[in-house]
Structure 1
Amino acid sequence: MTALRARGKDRVEIDLDERPWRVVPTEAVFVARLSVGTALDRATARTLGRELRRLRAQAQALRALRARDHTVASLEQRLKDRGAAPGVRRETLEAAQRAGLVDDQRFARTRAMLLATRGAGNHLIADDLERQGVSDDEIRVAVERLEAESVRAGRIIEARGSTAKTARYLASKGFSEETLESLVADLSADAID
């Protein structure tokens, strides 16, 4: 290496044999122990490559987490789709969990509450969390912490009316049979009167 020049606050331009070669993150330069006058041998190049892949995966994970909360499974799939190797994915996910950036329990609670406030029943909420990669135990805990499904259904019935159309709506929103039975029973009683 014939030169290392700062490019902004977190990048370094590397010259090999007095010709520009690459611009890399400063952290990669430190980890690979690059310095002027050292040869870029195979071991150093491998170390630099590993560090660049690790930093790329971390940047992808942080971008994804800035956009929305993720489960471990959904973030791992995102990194996999972007070509991160299994070891790099594992390391990135462990670092994100240690930092508290990824927490499946928090995700399950927050997502369940959001869906419940949007009028979803417990079945729809559980299905959504399962598709996001949340474990069965965490799904159960998140759903148990919600306001009773019958109370949520009661508000919807109050707003929409006690009709067959409302019953179909609640069924489409994932409300349980037990919750719907009382509405259907009320509809049947009204039809008889």
Structure 2
Amino acid sequence: MSDTLLLVLDLAGIAVFASTGALVAVRKELDVFGVVVLALITGLGGGVLRDVLIGAVPPAALDDWRYLVVPTVTALAVFAFHPAFGRMERQIMVLDAVGLALFCVTGAVKADEAGLGVLAASALGMLSGIGGGMMRDVAAGRVPVIFRGELYATPAFTGALVATLIHQEGYAEWWYALAFAICLGWRLVALKRGWTAPLPPGIDHS
């Protein structure tokens, strides 16, 4: 995957995740600083964790000004126009799924380029997708979404696994669309049909 394409996909995913973090902050009635901080955590958290774990320091989020500007501008837009964003809950959930799919692919590719094995690269691809959301929820005083029964981490790991295998086999860049589609499709179908991860016997999702 070319560096330019990787950068574009990374920034697109960061913008999407930053918007979800900013919305959570607005609903928690945080001030503008809190909105920006939560957006930064959500947009950059997973990527920073991945980069630190593979030894790519300083992380891209701190080494390239664009990684800080994109989530900051997104946060300020949500802060200023939050009523409009709040009415777009359904669309934002779809965009969140898109961000998850983007990050699991780019994260897996970066991890594989660092020389990790298939499973390790796939796990770090998944972490790239879910890490920021987990940090956002903890910072906002919520149980992370991946622990509430939602099918979120599983599609991310599957998409990352496919992306890792594609990268190792050296297939053309358009093949990454398959990994992206698997993660995105699974997440969207789960949202539409209300699919959830299994809970211990005798425990009701309600």
Same fold (TM over 0.5): no
**Structure with the greater alpha carbon radius of gyration:** 1
TM norm structure 2: 0.29
Comparing both chains, which one has the higher relative contact order based on Cα–Cα distances under 8 Å and sequence gaps of 6 or more?
2
TM norm structure 1: 0.30
Q: Which has the higher strand share?
A: 1
Q: Which has the higher helix share?
A: 2
